[in-house]
Structure 1
Amino acid sequence: MSRPPKPLGTRPSAARYFIPILAGKVVRLLARLRGGGSAFPGYVTLKLAPRFLHDITRQFPHGNVFVLGSNGKSTTTHMLTSIMRAHGLTVFTNPSGGNLPQGIASSLLGQVSLSGRLKADIGVIEVDEAFGKVIAEALTPSAAVILNLQIDQIYRFHEPERVAGMFRDIVAEVSDVVVLNRDDHFLRTLAGRLEEEGRLDLGFFGLTDEAVASAPHGQVIARDYENESIAADAVREVYAEVQAVDGATATIAFDGVARSMRLSARGLHYAVDAAAAITLARKVLGERFSLDTAISALESAKPVYGRGETVQHNGQELEILLLKNLASFQMNVDYLDGAPESVMIALDEGSKDLSWLYAADVSKFSHVDVVSGPKAAFMALRLAYDNIDYGTVEPDLEKALKTMLASELPSDGKRTLILDYDQMILARKLLGHSDLERGAS
């Protein structure tokens, strides 16, 4: 079931939104002049106009599409945006990863006119699950994809079941289409409940058993133990099924027909994100959807900033990988091309509880050249626990980067930076890549 285009919603009153939009744009300009993006402009606008998100985004003929999940949201949002644009749609998205209400509002301020006019056919929105219900009530999504439910930010979410409840609340606000990961035990259970309701058109993506077995540590997915029997009984056909991954080349079967594509980053997790993006695009676009166009869009898309991204700095090639939680760290390490010759790991105070690092397999590393960030000592201790040599321990990231870049260039010419989110933002800025929105476009 595809959601057909509808006439544009009522254009927001120019008199009503002129001052809030002007104020937000001025604050946004000042923030960018200081060298980076900020959610504060959106916060200012929402304070002045609480219905800003709802009234601006209801102009989209194809509605709003939500991307949800513990891992992979930014990458899937970027992939889905690329596919929609390749099909001729003008897309509004929040490419800077601003997935809270004020972050989405800040992204809108970059495109909306002072009169409240926004020229876009569809919104593709990455959503933080904790604020998802509030955002869903404001944006009234027509479709959503949920990628996974994995152990993430325990200090914030406490347990996976709490996140499961957040997903259920968000889905309750979706009007037409929901696409789910068939191989995530909780999402299979959620699918059973949604099928009983019969309210939504459901789609599925997944992996073959062989694909899961090919990953050194599989996919670290949380189980919905309470409803495990329901999940185990649920066997559903998928549109897109990942069959194999070789570096950045993924083999995915669409309706049983295998296609090979080269993605912007390597690893099973990126292939799964691609399967999710294509499945949702097919549902939303209906007869307009072209698989060839979708594959071509993904093959030409650049990686999202800080997620398998390679940047150049003074003639040196730096690959940046995100250290977010056990699943993202493990999958990124698993798909390194052997032990990196030159590697730095940096952790910030934003990582409240890093005990999960002791569950990670770090045997891929022969050594780590530089350990940085406010929690550098914690990472050094973790490496020492597995008898992995490390060199410099420098909490100051700027000094650590200088040390790293001044060291002997590795034979393969590549340095690997494994950074948590806050350290990744700072590192990119120090390397001259502070504009996240431009970097993700």
Structure 2
Amino acid sequence: MKYFFPILLGRLARVLARARGGGSAYPGYLVLKLLPSFLTDVTRQFDRGVLFVLGSNGKSTTTHMLSDVMRAHGLRVFTNPTGANLPQGIASALLSEVSLFGRLKADVGVLEVDEAFAVELSGHLHPSTVLMLNVQVDQLYRFYETERVAAMMTDTAATASAHVVTNRDDEYIGPFSSASLDVTRFGASAALVAAAPHGLQNANDFTRGAGAAAPALDAQAEVTALTPAGATIALGGASIDVRLPARGLHYAVDAAAAIQTARVALGAEFDEVKAQAAFASMKPAYGRGERLKIGSDEAEFVMFKNAASLQLNLDALQSAPEQVLLAIDEGTPDISWIYDVDFGNLDHVDVVSGAKAWQIALRLEHAGIPITTVEPDIEKAIELMKRLPSPSHKTKNFIVNYEQMMIARKMLGYPDLEKRA
């Protein structure tokens, strides 16, 4: 009965929270209060271990990619599909899968983890593999300095029991090494990074001093070519072509990270053909490149949370969107970084929305980008987008932060993703 009542109460809280349209974290918070060992007890059942995914940007997308690749190899995967990456969020995701007696039918856990809680969570979940994606300027109101984020990641990586996969092209985490762990790397070719309008937006490590040479590092998975729909990834002496679920070099790098992590986690079982098949049928991650019906057209979601993610997604646009909504609310408390973003790939914005709509509008005015309407209420803004004539490519672009994406999805009839994934 150790598990029965905490899990039962957690599930009841989950039903009530969803009925009221609330968030998904409270049920996990409740079960952890009632049963502090819940995370450890349940995830100990994974025969193939727990894989952590860390990074300033790209965690949800890469977790989604890695989960699909592992499933393509016949494994039952538990993951946190909505990006609920705090302890209570992961516990809530487990509540939807675990039996009332604490049993979980999964072979491996693939978990997106918040950097600030990663070391704490590693003490409960004991990751076999830690993947570090990037260190980019993010949430300075919370983290203060990028150096702190890098230290959180590398401290977590040191807790892995077997493997660390890291970004060769990142000044902070690329040089990570360990005498006791298998450390491998992913990256993008120098030519591709140089050709990107604003690079990959990784933060500069100023602690190295002027002129300090970066160590020469090899990447065991390297993006060598990019097309609008896919990428070529070199794997040692071979290479594979993969279809990407969304546009941009940053998604190709995420794919290389996912593939390399699957390679080390699966060992000799890794099959390039199965990995390719996983990408061929892969859907976009939650709210990241998703295309959802909006009347007779589709809404394509581009989600961002900081300057790096917004810039990389704008850079990935092949042409200026015919219809576009741009929205930010208080979920992104400080948007002073918006003045560092190059909006040159937009030639207009139809609707600006969110609690910070007028701040965005001022930035766009400085950039000389025409705005049709400023409507801070996102629900009214979406109605305005619905009423626009059908665009020639049948696509209405929604460039939004996480909270606005959640509201927009619900308004279009796609509620929060708390389901088996």
| Partner of residue 419 from structure 1, selected from 380, 400, 403 | 400
2:173 counterpart of 1:183 = no
2:275 counterpart of 1:294 = yes
The aligned residue for residue 139 of structure 1 is 125
Report if the CA contact (8 A) 2:221-2:236 is conserved: yes
Summarize deviations over 1:227-259 as a string: whole Å, max 9, x none. 369983422222210112121221211114333
Judged with a 3 Å threshold, the aligned counterparts in structure 2 of structure 1 residues 43 and 296 are, in CA distance, closer, same or farther, namely same
The aligned residue for residue 311 of structure 1 is 292
Q: Which runs of 5+ in 2 are unaligned?
A: none
The letter of the residue matching 1:330 is Q
| Partner of residue 107 from structure 1, selected from 86, 93, 96 | 93
Report if the CA contact (8 A) 2:161-2:181 is conserved: yes
The letter of the residue matching 2:253 is V
Report if the CA contact (8 A) 1:185-1:231 is conserved: no
1:35 Cα shift? 4.1
Report if the CA contact (8 A) 2:330-2:355 is conserved: yes
| Partner of residue 79 from structure 1, selected from 36, 40, 65 | 65
The aligned residue for residue 61 of structure 1 is 47
The aligned residue for residue 75 of structure 2 is 89
* 1:119-134 alignment, distance < 5 Å: 119-134=105-120
The letter of the residue matching 2:262 is A
| Partner of residue 250 from structure 2, selected from 249, 252, 269 | 269
Report if the CA contact (8 A) 2:240-2:272 is conserved: no
Could you state the TM-score of these two structures normalised by the residue count of structure 1?
0.93
Indicate the SS of the match to 1:102. Answer: helix
Indicate the SS of the match to 2:172. Answer: helix
| Partner of residue 219 from structure 2, selected from 222, 238, 241 | 238
2:421 counterpart of 1:436 = no
Report if the CA contact (8 A) 1:188-1:231 is conserved: no
2:381 counterpart of 1:395 = no
2:154 counterpart of 1:168 = yes
The letter of the residue matching 1:226 is T
Q: Distance in 1 between matches of 2:388 and 2:190?
A: 43
| Partner of residue 327 from structure 2, selected from 346, 349, 354 | 346
Report if the CA contact (8 A) 1:83-1:298 is conserved: yes
Judged with a 3 Å threshold, the aligned counterparts in structure 2 of structure 1 residues 231 and 97 are, in CA distance, closer, same or farther, namely farther
The letter of the residue matching 1:250 is A
Q: Distance in 2 between matches of 1:330 and 1:165?
A: 25
Indicate the SS of the match to 1:16. Answer: coil
| Partner of residue 9 from structure 2, selected from 23, 44, 68 | 23
More helix by share: 1
The aligned residue for residue 324 of structure 1 is 305
The aligned residue for residue 117 of structure 1 is 103
2:193 counterpart of 1:212 = yes
Cα root mean square deviation, aligned? 1.5
The aligned residue for residue 148 of structure 1 is 134
Summarize deviations over 1:51-73 as a string: whole Å, max 9, x none. 11011100110110000000000
Q: Distance in 2 between matches of 1:336 and 1:204?
A: 28
Summarize deviations over 1:84-142 as a string: whole Å, max 9, x none. 11101101111111100000000000010111111110000000001111111111111
The letter of the residue matching 1:297 is A
1:37 Cα shift? 4.9
1:264 Cα shift? 1.1
1:202 Cα shift? 0.7
| Partner of residue 222 from structure 1, selected from 188, 203, 222 | 203
The letter of the residue matching 1:347 is I
Count of aligned positions: 421
Q: Distance in 1 between matches of 2:37 and 2:205?
A: 36
Report if the CA contact (8 A) 2:154-2:173 is conserved: no
Indicate the SS of the match to 1:42. Answer: helix
2:391 counterpart of 1:410 = yes
The letter of the residue matching 2:355 is P
Q: Distance in 2 between matches of 1:349 and 1:119?
A: 38
Could you state the TM-score of these two structures normalised by the residue count of structure 2?
0.97
**Percent identity among equivalent residues?**
54
The aligned residue for residue 336 of structure 1 is 317
Indicate the SS of the match to 1:67. Answer: strand
Q: Distance in 1 between matches of 2:288 and 2:395?
A: 16
